[in-house]
Structure 1
Amino acid sequence: MGETPLTTAPSSPEPEASNENTTPIPAATVKLEQRAVDEPRRIKVIVIGAGISGILAGIRLPQRVPNLELVIYDKNPEVGGTWWENRYPGVACDIPSHSYQASFEPNTRWSRFYASGAEIEEYWKSVARKYGVYQYVQLSRQIVEARFDEERGKWLVKVQRLDTPEKEIFQDECDVLYSCIGSLNQWKWPDIKGLHDFKGKIVHSANWDSSLDYEDKNVAVIGIGSSAIQIVPEMQKKVKMMDHYARGKTWIAMPFVSEWAEAKNPDGKDFYFTEADIQRFQDDPEYFYQYRRELEHELNSAHTVTMRGSDLQKGAISFFTENMKTRLAKKPEIFASLLPPFPPACRRLTPGPGYLEAIVQDNVNFIPQEISHITSDAIVTEDGKVRPVDIIVCATGFDTTWTKRYPLIGRGGKDIGEKWKDFPETYISIATDEFPNYFINLGPNSGVGTGSLTIVLERAVDYVCQALQKIQRENIKTMEAKASSVQTFQRYCEAYFPGTVFTENCRSWYKNGKADGKVAILWPGSCLHAERVLSNPRWEDWQYEYLNESPHGWLGNGWTMADVKPAADRAYYLERSKVDVPPEGGAPITMI
């Protein structure tokens, strides 16, 4: 049956003598890499952040990237990211619970249509436990600096231990740095004169003091974003009096996927699943699967509402207006103050269960005036009115510039803060030029205005897994988005967004708190558009450097792992699952 296969790769043979008149090729240019063509080289990845993206990375990278060393650093003492950090009263998901979970780990036991923050946190912790993520996580570790070493093709990462009295700093290094921090990570105080002269209790929604006792107190809530819209109805039930400072205007949406929600909850408030609902989900997997598919289908069908002049956009204006007017009938002056001049979805749409009902209660003062300043015991508006208060709650958002977290130094000493000081430009949200071997989840232009965010996060992780496999397989030292690819994506964004409501005249965190300017947060397209783009990498949009300056190093030494492993299957291509049998008579061409 022929010669016995070799079990180890031989050394490179000397070329045989030849009488042909050829020009000798210098030996240095033909030196073979002593590795099989499909042998993945050892690679180390540092993931920053153990929120949803970091948890997904901790599942998929070990699953799909062989010969991997992985560490996940997080500054918090527990995984969960924003769902560990945000503990304010009423914190909850603002899309349906069953659409805010991993595609591979469905949860039949959500208690509410819009799950509470604590329930979401526990779900993602359970996912991390089930799939072994904790073995890679180092908690209470804050990144102090990350600097790229061009000569070695490594990231040098300084990390501070937050759980020791000395808070000492140590250095780690990796081949690839993967940022899974997200955009809502660094909260900020509002820029109000005298804010820190206040002698009562002051708290930010993203840094909540769980010991805060606000029952029967006079409380001020500053802000009109999604956090404030959740905080107000929860605190209103217990406070003596609430002053709600809402200088902006906003649309309060009906519950997303309203047809199913309305059948369960016709008054528009949040609702709980009954034990009978949950039991049916568990006992009838096909029913649950179809329910989840229909829910996600409807959620992903709302993208047209973001397009200027669309029928769905016009219908939303009429529907939301009438709904808000009806629910604010007790205090019609609030409706006049709250109704926006801009279209729905220009700012983030929030369903806000119970919010409109809360702000018309007798113990709530809705205050649309600008705040002038804050004294030791009161808030003063620009009309000169002084309102004493015991507690101030700042639901005033985050720094979304991506430039003030820690020094991130790329090629040629380029600091990301300097590079992105005017606008954070990326290639399809996951990388930027001058920062080799650096990937981002939930970076600039990655969020979705409508649809499922979690599937986009999953696809971004899938993309990075493929990039890591390419780096291993092709003997790549550095992989970097081309500057031209970054510019092409930015020009595409500039062409896309003017046709949407996101560039209308509304102050939005999509535009870093500005009323105009470029959209920095959102993906330029539907969530399904993002899912498709991230599912199909264009490797030609990247530039590469190779180990040992050997562009042919990816070919290895002429052997495969099947050749050199004694027990390997050397007819693997005939395995039934790998043989693609075409239909008899030929396949019909699919017409779209």
Structure 2
Amino acid sequence: MSTKQFDAVIVGAGFGGMGAAIQLNRLGYDNIAILDREDDLGGTWHVNRYPGLTVDVPSTTYSYWFEPNPYWSRLYAPGEELKQYAEYVADKYELRRYMRFNTTVELARWDEQAGEWLVSVAGGETLRAHFLILATGYLCQPKTPDIPGIESFAGTVLHAQKWDHSYSLQGRRAAIIGTGSTGVQLVPALARDVAELTVYQRTPIWVMPKLDFGIAPVVQRLFAKVPSAQRLLRMSTDIFMDVMVTIAMWRFRQFRPVNSGAALIGRLHRFLAIRDRQLRHKLAPDYDFGCKRPTLSNTYYPTFTKPHVRLETSGIECIEPDGIVSRDGSKRTIDTLVLATGFDVWESNLPAIEVIGRNGRNLGKWWRENRFQAYEGVSVPAFPNMLTQASPYAWVGMSWFDTVEAQMRHMDRLLGELQRRGASTFEVTETANERFLAEMLRLLDDSVFRLGNCTTSRSYWFNSAGEAPLFRPTSVRSAVRAQDQFPLTDYSMA
């Protein structure tokens, strides 16, 4: 077993981990290790390569503010462009020198005597780090549905997160399980190739019209030459996204008509695409807009009007070697099964690795026994010198980059103060953490999560206790301001 010493170990080489490394560099830390279990950088944009993959937030907003990309081909860029953007950022900021791929972190434990983190990776190696940053993302543990007989299926199984592009879908009799954001993108793409497609829907999703357009090369060149021009476009998408999320979801009590208006747009979008009343009814959510992540598509609903596409809503009884048996007794014979069943956020992702803090506190166990909580969405009592990005009350707005850059501001102020004092450790106080949690719970009382009809949404935003602690229920502007102004006395430093 070898032991190496680092200023910081970052777990995850997606946009969150890269943002953390960039901020550490700005603070003068250069001895960094970025560990990732995959074989390349990009996080979800490396793992997900399924047909039809696009970003569901305008690309101008879904990017670092400090590193605009003038070359997006569309307002909602395809997935491969996000992967290319990740590679560009890594190269420009020289982050690859820190990265170690095919490296699975098994345990991170705080060494009280040494005042360091011991990070154990598969193969027996242990790394020592002054700081530990968890940047594994919320959507990093794919979920396989627990359906009787699924292991017996004799055909080809394609996972959305492990897509096999060498497999031809031409002429196949396929079925897809899952109609979340991934399913909405996959269904139209599959329907273009297969001979038959059955879509197994458990919970309908709110699908909104997608105002998308291509960005001409001449406009891209303008953005590259005059960055302020692209900034103007970004400001409009930023403000629109922030205002809509804030008033439709977090200010539901005061702006219920806005939420109802958004739902009306979704219903009108469905009505214009599908004339069959029974089919339209099957695709209609029976929960309020905002309870479950909505998505955007102009092609999802029309796909169900094609003669070779069938929507199945009676539920799945079991899977047999040659097909799927529904609860109504009907069976669909298939040769290809596509799984778009999302991610296991709560059981194996928060946290994604085992983390042991001061006095043996196990992070996952503590969260499950004492509510999911993290001060300003980044730090937890009894876990010194640790910052966690995909954590309770961290996600702000709809763009992950809003969260990452807010946390980079927090890091800048916190670690800058640590350096100014000549201290070596920081830890958020129990009092500050409790105060922050109480404020988040108070704000949630006005949200669609508390006041809306979310019972049937089956949203991954809710944990098994019926709580929804992933989001910070404030505007992006408010979250950014908080990172610039949080009391430094909320941390003990030594």
- TM-score of the superposed pair, with normalisation by structure 1: 0.77
Q: Report the AA paired with residue 135 of structure 1.
A: R
Q: For residues 511-561 of structure 1, give each alpha carbon's deviation from its aligned partner in whole angstroms, at most 9, with x where no partner exists.
A: 14x6x71102211212222222123232222223x3xxxxxxxxxxxxxxx
Q: Tell me which of 26, 47, 50 is aligned to 2:10.
A: 47
1:239 and 2:194 matched: yes
1:393 alignment partner, one of 326, 338, 350: 338
Matched-pair contact (CA < 8 Å) for 1:301–1:451: no
CA contact (8 A) 2:58 2:75 kept: yes
Aligned to 2:133: 178
Among 458, 461, 471, the alignment partner of 1:507 is 458
Question: Conserved in 2, the CA contact under 8 Å of 1:43 and 1:472?
Answer: no
**What is the number of equivalent residue pairs in this alignment?**
479
**What letter matches 1:453 in structure 2?**
W
Partner of 1:565: none
The answer as to whether partners of 2:171 and 2:194 remain within 8 angstroms in 1 is yes
Distance 1:66 1:77 in 2: 28
For the 8 Å contact 2:135–2:390, the answer to whether it is kept is yes
How far did residue 93 of structure 1 move? 0.3
Q: Using the TM superposition, name which of 277-286 and 520-529 deviates more.
A: 277-286
Question: Does residue 1:305 correspond to 2:268, yes or no?
Answer: no
Cα 1:536–1:460, aligned 2, differ >3 Å: closer, same or farther? Answer: same
Shift of 1:404: 6.3
Q: For residue 93 of structure 1, what is the aligned residue in structure 2?
A: 55
Provide the residue aligned with 2:33 in structure 1: 71
**Contact 1:451–1:527 (8 Å) recurs in 2:** no
**In the alignment, which of 536, 539, 549 is matched to residue 488 of structure 2?**
539
Residue of structure 1 in register with 2:220 after alignment: 278
Q: Which has the larger radius of gyration?
A: 1
Contact 2:243 2:475 in 1 (8 A): no
Larger displacement relative to structure 2 (400-409 or 51-60)? 400-409
How far off is 1:223 after superposition? 0.8
Secondary structure of 2:418's aligned partner: helix
1:283 Cα deviation from its structure 2 partner = 5.1
Q: Which amino acid aligns with 1:244?
A: V
Provide the residue aligned with 1:584 in structure 2. Answer: none
Aligned partners of 2:208 and 2:265 also within 8 Å = no
Write the distance in 2 (CA, Å) between the matches of 1:283 and 1:51. 28
1:37-436 → structure 2 map (5 Å cutoff): 44-63=7-26, 65-66=27-28, 68-160=30-122, 168-255=123-210, 261=211, 270-282=212-224, 284-302=226-244, 303-306=246-249, 307-308=251-252, 310=255, 311-329=257-275, 331-401=276-346, 402-403=349-350, 405-422=352-369, 423-436=371-384
Q: Aligned equivalents of 2:39 and 2:416: distance in 1?
A: 31
Identity of aligned pairs, percent?
Answer: 28
3-state SS, counterpart of residue 169 of structure 1: coil
Structure 1 residues 403, 58: closer, same or farther in 2, change over 3 A?
closer
Gaps of 5+ in 1: 1-41, 161-167, 256-260, 262-269, 547-592
Distance 2:227 2:364 in 1: 49
Give 5+ residue unaligned stretches, structure 2.
none
Normalising by structure 2, what TM-score? 0.92
Give me the whole-angstrom Cα distance separating, in 1, the residues matched to 2:29 and 2:203: 52
Among 392, 405, 414, which residue is 1:467 paired with? Answer: 414
CA drift of 1:198 comes to 1.0
CA RMSD of aligned residues (A): 2.0
Cα contact 2:133–2:387 (8 A) shared by 1: yes
Separation (CA, whole Å) in 1 of partners of 2:38 and 2:78: 20
How far the C-alpha of 1:98 sits from its partner, in A, is 1.1
Q: Taking structure 1 as reference, are residues 43 and 537 closer, same or farther at Cα in structure 2, changes over 3 Å only?
A: farther
Taking the aligned partners of 2:240 and 2:428, their CA distance within structure 1 comes to 35
Helix, strand or coil at the partner of 1:458: helix
